[in-house]
Amino acid sequence: MEIKDYIVIIISGCALTLSLISLIVTLIQKHKETNRTIKKTLTDTLESISKIGIESTKLKSSKDLEFNSEAAIQLRRNYNSQRRVLIAHADFLIMRYDNLATEIDCNILAGAYAAIGDQEKAEYFWRKTINKSASPPIKLMNLRGFGIFLFAIGNDDNGRKFFNEALSLNLTENDENKILQVDTYLMLCELERESGNKENYEINLTGAMEVYSKIKNKRKKDEMYERIRLKLPIIN
């Protein structure tokens, strides 16, 4: 074989290698574009679900329509129909492209399922939300969110368990995290008050006061004291 033949082979090999590299780069780029499109579709869908939730809340507090009037009932049905369509779409996208879904995506979907009364699906996505939590403070908020959901469906014991797990997380020592913990204790106090559980109410109020006492910033500390003093009267 002559030298020119080797040169032809080398050039052909280089051309093939460049073609493969170009193909790989193109495929990677297309994959990224596809993921961006999917993520945008999911985000838009969840945003629409959130907007329906806002409109539903406005409807409940509206002074223009009586809650049980025919017009209000029809509006609620329309909202629920729209919500169910969007939920199905968001569910499909999250289950199919789980790696693209964040904890807040799952959080919104969990709340949407709770709004239409699908407790099993709501619980599934609450657990998924917790598992995807990106940091201890976010995990705390998601654990207590799931706890609130469990209290709402009458599962108080498990609700307490998730609140206690949230409060046992090892957070960085700073005022913001202490405020987050006080907030969590106060939320649980309110839930215990609604349940008529005076003992647990007082235990958690004590916990809130203990964390509150460690807040260093005076303004923030005063604000939290007002919340403790004014919003959570002790059960008689």
Q: CA 139 to CA 160: how far, in whole Å?
A: 16
Q: CA 165 to CA 143: how far, in whole Å?
A: 7
Specify the pLDDT at position 154. Answer: 94
Q: Give 176-226 as a DSSP string.
A: HHHHHHHHHHHHHHHHHHHHT-HHHHHHHHHHHHHHHTT---HHHHHHHHH
pLDDT in tens, 119-177: 999 999 999 999 999 999 999 999 999 999 999 999 999 999 999 999 999 999 999 99
Q: CA 89 to CA 137: how far, in whole Å?
A: 29
Task: Report the alpha-carbon angle 64-70-71, nearest 5.
Answer: 45
Beta-carbon contacts of residue 43 (< 8 Å; ≥ 6 apart): 105
Are 180 and 171 spatial neighbours (Cβ–Cβ below 8 Å)? yes
Mean pLDDT of the chain: 88
Q: At what angle do helices 136-152 and 103-115 cross, to 10 degrees?
A: 10
Residue 199: exposed, middle, or buried by beta-carbon count in 10 A (0-12, 13-18, 19+)? exposed
Of 59-73, 103-117, 212-226, the one with minimum mean pLDDT is: 59-73
Specify the pLDDT at position 83. Answer: 92
pLDDT in tens, 32-51: 777 888 999 999 999 999 99
Helix (H, G, I), strand (E, B) or coil at 60: helix
Question: Whole-model pTM?
Answer: 0.81
Percentage of the chain beyond pLDDT 70 is 88
Specify the pLDDT at position 96. Answer: 95
Specify the pLDDT at position 235. Answer: 43
Query: H or E segment at 84?
Result: helix 70-96
